[in-house]
Structure 1
Amino acid sequence: MKTDVICLGELLIDFVSMAKDVSLIESPGFLKAPGGAPANVAAGVVKLGGTAGFIGKVGDDPFGLYLKQVLNQLTVETSCLALDREARTTLSFVAQRPDGDRECMFYRHPGADMRLAAEDIAEDYIAQGSVFHYGSISLGSPSSKAATLQAIAYARKHGLLISYDPNLRTDLWPDPEHAREEINAGFAHADVVKISEEEYRFITGCTTVEDCGRYILERGPGLVIVTLGKDGCYYTNGRTSGFIAGFQAEVVETTGAGDAFVAAVLHTFAERRRAGSTVQDEELPAVLRFANAAGALATTRIGAIPSLPTQDEVLALLDSAD
């Protein structure tokens, strides 16, 4: 039996400020929440009713053991999640500032996720997947970059749909130019790219979503989606394009919203591939409306994985909006 979506990358602890509209300096305390963008996507797929596996590395420490337990409880497949005795699990401290932007600081010198290696990647594990998803953070260290490229090669060899989320975190890179170069190189391997409004100007140099879409399509992907926060998203595949409206939500904290969006898109694509078909151009608006609803719901709770919605919750929001 195939796994719907296999995700590779970072799995970490987000310590999220318990107070809204404050900086990290001003925050009175933090709530421990499991996170890490690719792991969030895997969890999101499972919560929507699909199957998912995760490839990565955490510390052989209380936080790493907790994270593996969380994924296991969600039924994310973790046979390719390794425990590292030489490095600790990455930690991230997150606050939502008064201007709406997130402030984020990582403890990762190095984090265990940076030590994922090419020899950790099992071809037979990837071969039984339907969709493979990766982000840019695993491209930031030599070892995890080699692991990511090895996994991509296996995914391409075995016909998986390949998804990429740049997930820009400039403070995890030696310098901005190195980040821009490596993130841009990541486009060439993907079939589907999701990028956010906050990211695309820095990464692509474009000033409009339309230009961004064309820029990324020229580098190889077949579908580009630009998320626009509460305003929904823009998409293009070179044949059809458009804007899909977002949903109103009582925003508590935005960590994981983009990952909930990606999980919803990939869950739908994987369902179709499992049935032996693909999503047609005219169906993309409905797929992305479903994803917008998932992203909106993820902003209504604290933390990334804890905030990811179920399929019933997404369908209820869609029904209430009709």
Structure 2
Amino acid sequence: MSSITVMGESLVDVVSGLAHPGGSPLNVAVGLARLGHVVQFHTEFGQDAHGQQIAEHLRQAGVKVASGSVTERATSVAQVHVDEQLNAHYTFDIHQQIPPVAADAITELLHTGSIAAWIEPSGQSIVDAFTHAATSSLRSYDPNLRPDLVEDRETAIERIELLMRLSHIVKLSDVDAQWLYPDLDLWDVLAHVSSLGPAFAVMTQGGDGCLAVTHGNRYDISALPTDLKDTIGAGDAFMSGLLYGVLSLPELAQALRTGTASEPADIRQALHHALTSAALTVGQAGANPPWVDDFSRALAH
């Protein structure tokens, strides 16, 4: 399996008074590790009860926590409200000072996303890692916006688009798209993202599946049927499933790294992996990405 580095926030999601380990990058790291990859996670969490809960969650998944990630500060917290349509809404108390990735680190995939990528000081550490990543490393990014935390819209968009330029794969949601580019329709958003440099631009649409653009080709893939419990962690499970799908197809991974044309069948297979992972996750309460055995059984069906 591949060696993967993930950078970003760790926190606990508090739902109805109960704390659950979360944060978009943490969920992606856990999702990839559960699918069998070797994952090192650069993050920050404390030594308090919430931090101990996160540490155990990562340990059980097999995620390796980078040195310097455990600090004396309190662990970040997200209060989660689930509305009548089972959609999750968040309020945050967050801080992240992420240990840097060594300049000579060798990793097949470098992934980041969400809050830590555009708040400081973590944001600059992430930009530095992406800027100096080895040419052999595939780079992926998910803005996973939290507009309530944005103090300066222009500055946030500048950082988001910088990370898009530094990435081979960008995944965003239709809600992200509407906040970032309110005057563009969804396909035009993907065209704009692609024009910044990513070889593979993907947009999730909740129960409507996903859209994708690569080398000018468009893909519109329906969601898989599922018994919806809630949407917590759905986008992150989509992301880990997508990255698993790309890495399982070496010719596709190489094409995305080099910017050459990809086989449409490979793109569709990677998107199917993503949608399968998301469907399994929303069928359970909380951010709970699938383990490899359940994922393999679902793919087989």
Find the partner of 1:93 among 62, 79, 102. Answer: 79
| 1:140-175 deviation line (CA, Å, top 9, x unaligned) | 3331122111211232x3421100100000122214
Secondary structure, aligned partner of 2:132:
helix
Equivalences, count: 295
Letter of the structure 2 residue corresponding to residue 309 of structure 1: P
Alignment partner of 1:55 is 2:42 = yes
CA distance in 2, matches of 1:220, 1:31: 41
CA distance in 2, matches of 1:201, 1:319: 35
Displacement after TM superposition at 1:229 (Å): 1.0
TM (normalized to structure 2)? 0.90
Find the partner of 1:241 among 213, 218, 228. Answer: 218
Change in 2 beyond 3 A, CA 1:56/1:81:
farther
Secondary structure, aligned partner of 1:6:
strand
Letter of the structure 1 residue corresponding to residue 35 of structure 2: L
Alignment partner of 1:310 is 2:291 = yes
* Alignment check: 8 A CA contact 1:245 1:289 kept: no
| 1:169-227 deviation line (CA, Å, top 9, x unaligned) | 01222144433333233211111000101110211335322111110011111110011
Alignment partner of 1:162 is 2:139 = yes
Displacement after TM superposition at 1:274 (Å): 10
| 1:237-256 deviation line (CA, Å, top 9, x unaligned) | 13322111111212111111
CA distance in 1, matches of 2:172, 2:254: 25
Greater Cα offset, 193-202 or 139-148: 139-148
CA distance in 1, matches of 2:63, 2:88: 28
List alignment gaps of at least 5 residues for structure 1: 17-28
Structure 1 counterpart of 2:26: 39
Alignment partner of 1:186 is 2:170 = no
* Alignment check: 8 A CA contact 1:170 1:179 kept: no
Letter of the structure 1 residue corresponding to residue 293 of structure 2: D
Structure 2 counterpart of 1:26: none
CA distance in 2, matches of 1:13, 1:276: 32
CA distance in 1, matches of 2:146, 2:252: 36
Secondary structure, aligned partner of 1:152:
helix
Structure 1 counterpart of 2:177: 200
| 1:34-92 deviation line (CA, Å, top 9, x unaligned) | 1111111111011122221111111232222321222122111113452221x211011
* Alignment check: 8 A CA contact 2:10 2:45 kept: yes
Alignment partner of 1:147 is 2:134 = no
Displacement after TM superposition at 1:100 (Å): 4.6
Find the partner of 1:75 among 62, 71, 87. Answer: 62
Structure 2 counterpart of 1:64: 51
Over aligned residues, Cα RMSD in angstroms? 2.3
TM (normalized to structure 1)? 0.84
Alignment partner of 1:7 is 2:6 = yes
Letter of the structure 2 residue corresponding to residue 300 of structure 1: G
Equivalent residues in 2 for 1:208-247, closer than 5 Å = 208-247=185-224
* Alignment check: 8 A CA contact 1:12 1:92 kept: yes
List alignment gaps of at least 5 residues for structure 2: 257-261
Change in 2 beyond 3 A, CA 1:234/1:3:
same
